[in-house]
Amino acid sequence: MNRPRPRLARIWVFGLVALSLVGTLVARLGQVQIGDHAQYERAAATLNTRTVTEPAVRGRILDRNGLPLADNSTRTVVSVSRGVLADAGDGGRALVQRIATALQVPFDELWGRTQLCGAKGAPPQPVCWAGSPYVPVPLVSGADPARALGLLEHPDTFPGVTVGAQPVRDYPQSSVNAAHVLGYLGQASESDVASSRGAVTGLDLVGRAGLEQQYDAQLRGVPGSDTVSLDPRGVVDGQVSSTAPVPGKDLVTNLDARVQSAAESALRSAATSARTRGFRADSGAAVVLDVTNGAVVAAASYPTYDPAVWTGGISTRALAALTDASTGTPLVSRVTAGAYPPASTFKVVSIPAAVEAGNDLRGTYQCGSSYTIGNRRFANYESRAYGPIDLRRAIVVSCDTIFYDFAYRSWLAQGGLDAKSDAADPFVAMAKELGLGAATGVDLPGEQAGRIPDRAWKQATWAATRTDTCARARTGYPEVAATDPGRAAYLRSLAVENCRTGFQFRAGDAANFAIGQGDTTATPLQMARVYAAIANGGTLWTPQVAKGFEAPGGVLEPVPPKAAGKVTFPAGTLAFMQDALVGVVRQGTGVGAFRGFPLDQWPVAGKTGTAEAFGKQDTAWFVSYAPADKPQYAVAVVVSQGGTGGATAAPAARRIYDVLRTLP
């Protein structure tokens, strides 16, 4: 009779536990609904809004007279509301089909565009939509304007369809290319977005080369933003707030469209002419600097390409063409990244170095057909002998053997092979003082430093390549021998020599260095800068493309010129070289190119150069400045494998001066 009591007790215990749990739940609900109401309301609002970034209009790139070199244009974009697609019973397929038919574009391409990249079943890029899911989907970019606007005339047939304008880069100056200076735009990468601290979104285009890259932050401006609210399906149903974007600043450059056009045309004609004479003329550059402040007035590279190829995204085929070595790798700028042996244009470095070494500036020297060092014969160009001549005449006719003698005697005075450093080498010192072997600091990305092959360079290069060099000394070059046995034998003999003593700065290295040959290289921009320093009395300016920035409706914010240093020349040397360079154009190797040019009114000072390299045709140089009596512009022209400087490069420079002398 007493057994039911424990069971009744357990029921009471379970009832108390249940009551306690219900009480806790009610208390928690009360806290959520009353005490934490504001907090959860804010969270709900956050979950139901999204912020969409609106890119700013990119600033233009202008020449120094205000002509737009890179402008903004628009292309017609047809977009469709995501809400309309979501509301349609078929997900919007019928609507997209009607749009495709009206615009005469493939349906599959448009339908894929409605799918977010990464979503299940979405096609790969660039077909899928990689942008924000909270803005209308741009189905067609670059649509025919008439057909696109026709959609708006039938809102019942094309609900949720909008037609707008998308900004793209435009290049309005048909006579100016300037592709390597201007650069191009590319889609922002994850690293661009991550490093920008909110300034760049995944939808933005950012500078990838040239001025577009160098001054991307100023050109890009400040993006705006729209905060939108979403319904439970994730479709936008309202706008919460909006911040307008701030347009980018216009970049005003030091480029002159007339001079840039002339430089491009002259360079192209020089290469074409050289080819008719049997030369490959595979690349080249032309540079114009203002000698008074380092402003880059023109910079042309050959071969070049249409900068508009990047607009809207470049195809794989087009990109391959730009990087194809067989077509000259058009993407590479020969102005800043093309390093060539400067040949006899380098003699303006060797003259002051020779004087520093103790040679008389007014002395007479023997210009023979060749000069022998040890068992090696160094020939004068075309083996021509001029007999005893002064240094001015040596520059005018471009005698090499006098400079071989200067370099060899200086090498001996420094200790020959026993010299351990370059500290006492006047030729190396003068080259470096004139900025060679180091980047100029021009405001363009991708600049090469060129090469001054001094003792330190020889030692470092030998250490880095010795293993491979010694292996080649043993095995030779069978892959070269299959088609060119003579070249293979030459290369192996070099490998044998360099394996043992490649670290040595030999007498032959010094001789070649003095005439800008051997391992010495310089960019056209570097050589233009050297001659600008000779023209202006020794100031080495940092080349600068940017003149200033201008906000819409604002005033120009100038980018001030920067002097990199002052070159110290031995007494009397500067005036001597200025006179000798005028002689080159009036009586020497440049006379043919400037026949008929008004030299009395607008004198030109310059030097030709013809660089020789084993297995290649000669590279043509002409570096100069004018007017010689009141210098304003320095012009450098180089054509790789283009023949002699006097026949190929100097005529191109003359065409550029034809325009320069007409400027106010």
pLDDT computed for residue 319 by the predictor: 84
- Mean pLDDT, residues 319-328 taken together: 91
User: Per-residue pLDDT tens for 401-410?
Assistant: 999 999 999 9
pLDDT computed for residue 195 by the predictor: 81
User: Per-residue pLDDT tens for 413-466?
Assistant: 999 999 989 999 999 999 999 999 999 999 999 999 999 999 999 999 999 999
pLDDT computed for residue 144 by the predictor: 85
- Nearest-angstrom CA–CA distance, 448 and 443: 13
- Is it the case that residue 1 has pLDDT exceeding 80? no
Paired strand residues for 649: none
- Identify whether the C-beta of residue 230 lies closer than 8 Å to the C-beta of residue 52: no
- Mean pLDDT, residues 206-210 taken together: 92
Task: Pull the structure tokens for residue 426.
Answer: 């006047």
Tell me what percent of the residues of the chain surpass a pLDDT of 70: 88
User: Per-residue pLDDT tens for 162-191?
Assistant: 887 777 899 999 999 999 999 998 767 667
Between 552 and 486, the more confident residue is 486
- Is it the case that residue 17 has pLDDT exceeding 50? no
- Mean pLDDT, residues 546-564 taken together: 93
- Is it the case that residue 571 has pLDDT exceeding 70? yes
If we measure between CA atoms, which residue out of 377, 382, 177 comes closest to residue 266? Answer: 177
Reported confidence tier of residue 13, pLDDT bands at 50, 70, 90 = very low
Between 324 and 34, the more confident residue is 324
What is the bridge-based pairing of β-strands 205-207 and 185-187? Answer: antiparallel
pLDDT computed for residue 543 by the predictor: 98
- Nearest-angstrom CA–CA distance, 548 and 103: 43
- Is it the case that residue 299 has pLDDT exceeding 60? yes
- Identify whether the C-beta of residue 349 lies closer than 8 Å to the C-beta of residue 620: no
User: Per-residue pLDDT tens for 592-648?
Assistant: 999 999 999 999 999 999 999 888 999 999 999 999 999 999 999 999 999 999 999
Between 225 and 247, the more confident residue is 247
Domain 257-303+523-660: homologous superfamily in CATH: DD-peptidase/beta-lactamase superfamily (3.40.710.10)
Between 477 and 14, the more confident residue is 477
> What are the Cα distances from residue 493, in Å, to 48, 514, 549, 555?
76, 24, 56, 64
If we measure between CA atoms, which residue out of 298, 297, 253, 296 comes closest to residue 547? Answer: 253
pLDDT computed for residue 359 by the predictor: 98
- Mean pLDDT, residues 505-509 taken together: 96
| E strand spans, 55-204 | 61-62, 68-80, 137-141, 161-170, 185-187
As a whole number, the mean pLDDT across the chain is 88
Amino acid at 285: A
- Nearest-angstrom CA–CA distance, 645 and 47: 70
The CATH architecture annotation of domain 343-460+501-514 reads 3-Layer(aba) Sandwich (3.40)
pLDDT computed for residue 19 by the predictor: 52
Amino acid at 456: A
- Identify whether the C-beta of residue 638 lies closer than 8 Å to the C-beta of residue 516: no
Reported confidence tier of residue 76, pLDDT bands at 50, 70, 90 = confident
- Is it the case that residue 35 has pLDDT exceeding 60? no
pLDDT computed for residue 37 by the predictor: 54
Cβ count within 10 A of residue 7: 8
Reported confidence tier of residue 56, pLDDT bands at 50, 70, 90 = confident
User: Per-residue pLDDT tens for 87-140?
Assistant: 888 888 999 999 999 999 888 878 887 877 777 877 765 556 655 666 688 888
pLDDT computed for residue 223 by the predictor: 76
Domain ranges (residues) in the chain: 74-166, 257-303+523-660, 343-460+501-514, 461-500
- Nearest-angstrom CA–CA distance, 482 and 488: 9
- Is it the case that residue 355 has pLDDT exceeding 50? yes
pLDDT computed for residue 203 by the predictor: 61
- Mean pLDDT, residues 467-483 taken together: 95
Tell me what percent of the residues of the chain surpass a pLDDT of 90: 67
- Nearest-angstrom CA–CA distance, 451 and 387: 33
- Is it the case that residue 142 has pLDDT exceeding 90? no
If we measure between CA atoms, which residue out of 643, 645, 657, 638 comes closest to residue 283? Answer: 638
pLDDT computed for residue 52 by the predictor: 61
Count the residues in the chain. Answer: 664
Task: Pull the structure tokens for residue 478.
Answer: 């069978």
- Is it the case that residue 20 has pLDDT exceeding 60? no
- Nearest-angstrom CA–CA distance, 509 and 530: 22
- Identify whether the C-beta of residue 485 lies closer than 8 Å to the C-beta of residue 505: no
DSSP state letter for 127: T
> Hey, do 257-303+523-660 and 343-460+501-514 end up sharing a CATH topology, with the first three levels equal?
yes
Amino acid at 216: D
Q: Which residues contact 47 (CB under 8 A, 6 or more apart)?
A: none
